[in-house]
Amino acid sequence: MSEVALLNVQTLTPAAVFRTQNGVEDVVSKLERDVRAMELDPTSEKGRKHIKSVAYQVSRSKTALDEMGKLVKEDAMELVKRVDAERRVITSRLDALRDEVRKPVDDYEAREKARVEGIRGQIAKIELLGQRLDGLSIEALNEGVEELDLLKVYDFQEFSSRADLAVQQTVNALKAAIIIAEKAEADRIEAERLAAEKAEAERLAVIEAQKIREAEIARSAAEKARMDAEATAERERKAVAEALEREREEATRKEKEAADRIAKMRREAEENARRAEAQKKAAEEQAERDQVAAIKRERQRVADEQAAREAEDKRRAENKAHRGKINREVLASLMSAGTSEDLGKAIIGAILNGSVPHVTIGY
């Protein structure tokens, strides 16, 4: 439809358009009716290309009519004012028609831009969760994991690969930070436990010293009693000595048991520290391997997309060159048969548009 409208404008004469009553109105109105009668679909790639093509044909029709007006002005200066007014009508109405035709595409592209910006904003939030994690508590890191679970269910559409990479990197960063925070918390708890054990050992030592002092007082009392009464003192001395011996043995045994417990707890703490360090190192190495693999996959995807675009561009260029060659050969044959170049082009355009029944051009 757009090709027919353009050919009708190009085949008109300046006199027929500008020296005939309502000539411009008839041409512009016909263009408006023809264009507005088309079925335009901005939701598909083919439909958007068609809309842009129609808008371009309207602009070409406007230019052709404007050029006719210039010729009339040059041939008949007395018609200058009327022709200029008609040109303004052409420009205003066909610009408005062009904008009307393009509006669905412009609206669609604006929606697409907003959609893409929304997806990129979600990906940026995911990436931000994996940054500046040093010093955060385990609770804060776990909240980050929960927030990530909410963000990653977003429909990322054609950005799914990039979103998956951002999610994986953030998950790795959060896991590593949680391991570090858990180790720090374990170290703090262990330090508090060791301090408590040391305080308890010191308390037991004070109690033991007190017992020794009390035993010494008892021994002195027994010695004085022995001086007062030899027989009674001797029995009491032996009893006190035996009690002291038992207390010393018990104290020695308790001290040894306390020392053994402290040494065992120290060994366990050192083993836990070594195990946590090994787990941290393994997590960091795995995160690095995952990141390298994700980057490799992303680079391959970009390379594949670039190769596909280049192949499509080459195919389109070759097809365009092939069609142009055949069209030029058809035009040359028409001209050799006595047809003018402009009429030959018009005939080819009509054939391509399907306006000439039973006639086609094979490409």
Concatenated DSSP letters of 158-169: GGHHHHHHHHHH
The mean of the pLDDT values for the chain is 82
Q: How far apart are CA 163 and CA 68, in angstroms?
A: 56
The H-assigned helical ranges of the chain are: 2-11, 14-18, 23-36, 45-75, 80-129, 138-151, 160-228, 230-336, 341-352
Per-residue pLDDT band for 236 (boundaries 50, 70, 90) equals low
pLDDT at residue 42, rounded to an integer: 92
Whether pLDDT at 3 is above 50 = no
Q: How far apart are CA 145 and CA 266, in angstroms?
A: 34
60-107 confidence digits (pLDDT tens): 888 888 888 888 777 777 656 777 788 888 889 888 888 888 898 888
For residues 15 and 315, which has the higher predicted lDDT (pLDDT)?
315
pLDDT at residue 2, rounded to an integer: 40
Average pLDDT on 314-340 reads 85
Minimum mean pLDDT among 43-52, 74-83, 243-252, 351-360: which range? 74-83
Cβ(265)–Cβ(193) below 8 Å: yes
Sign of CA pseudo-dihedral 233, 235, 240, 245: positive
Whether pLDDT at 153 is above 70 = yes
pLDDT exceeding 90 applies to what percent of the chain?
A: 2
pLDDT at residue 224, rounded to an integer: 66
pTM exceeding 0.75: no
Integer CA distances (angstroms), 191 to 179, 185, 259, 269, 347, in order: 18, 10, 17, 9, 95
179-232 confidence digits (pLDDT tens): 888 888 888 888 888 888 888 888 888 888 888 887 787 777 766 665 666 666
